[in-house]
Amino acid sequence: MGDKIVSSDGRVYIVGAGPGDPELLTLRAARLLGEAGAVVYDRLVGAEILELCPPGCLRIFAGKSPGNHTMRQGEINSLLIDLAQEGLSVVRLKGGDPFIFGRGGEEAQALSQAGVPFEIVPGVTSATAAPAYAGVPVTHRGLSSSVTFVTAHEDPAKPETSVDYAHLAAGGGTLVFVMGARSIGRISRELLRYGMTDETPVAIVENATTGRQRALRCTLAEAPSFAEREEVAPPAVVVVGAVAALADELAWFRPEESPASPWSRLQTQTLLESI
């Protein structure tokens, strides 16, 4: 790939790549990618975003999927430290926001303990983008004045969950379960067990913000059989609460009608240079 791009002061930028649509990438993230000497990226980072990397940039895949980890977390931490200590400007590119269920905090701790300078670049999180692209405001006057983000990335075979469903069911606000595709049965069962009603609205959003997005609606009692019938697959966000019913009225995103994205590296570079 050519010669490495070396900086006199190695640094790691832990960057949120957003929920999927490359046009939801922040300007700061785009600028750093265009100057990177190395990019360590996750599974859900789109190829279009990686096009912003300059010639000579090292691109290292560190993606994880259930039961299949390209690198263990400790190996990723060591890699980031090593690359920065070589003098590289390193972008650690993570889907969504790196500090929302992204293990960005663990990576920042490792860098801090190794004395490696780092910066956190927030990204648009799927926890809010997925509901928004399905027409679901996670808060809405008269319906929900609070929202709780929950990781649903638990082993379905675990005999017990580590999530406090009793507290969630009693809270009265919107619940957003991130990485929830394989846990819909457990989510439904536990919330019903602790008092939520069968008719509580649920929205399930797959591949949010992309041309492959699917936004599905059902009730909490229906959710397990509905998700099985519809073959819901990762990545998916599950929204539980009264606001989920607004998807029927506020749905605005039509993936099948959306024109091809005008995204291009040249257009992005032109935009960055004009700021």
DSSP 96: B
Contacts with 144 (C-beta within 8 Å, 6 or more apart), sequence order: 138, 172, 173, 174, 241, 242, 243
- Is residue 126 predicted with pLDDT exceeding 80? yes
Q: Which residues carry out catalysis?
A: 42, 64, 179
Domain with CATH 3.30.950.10 in the chain: 127-255
User: Domain 127-255, what fold?
Assistant: 3.30.950
pLDDT at position 163: 92
Q: What is the DSSP secondary-structure string of 140-166?
A: BTTTBS-EEEEE----TT-SS-SS-HH
pLDDT at position 154: 61
**What is 11-124's CATH superfamily?**
Tetrapyrrole methylase, N-terminal domain (3.40.1010.10)
Domain with CATH 3.40.1010.10 in the chain: 11-124
> Once rounded to an integer, what is the mean pLDDT over residues 38-64?
93
Quote the CA–CA distance of 172 and 80 in Å, as a whole number: 41
**pTM, full prediction:** 0.89
pLDDT tens figures, 193-242: 999 999 999 999 999 999 999 999 999 999 999 999 999 999 999 999 99
Contact 185, 226 (CB under 8 A): no
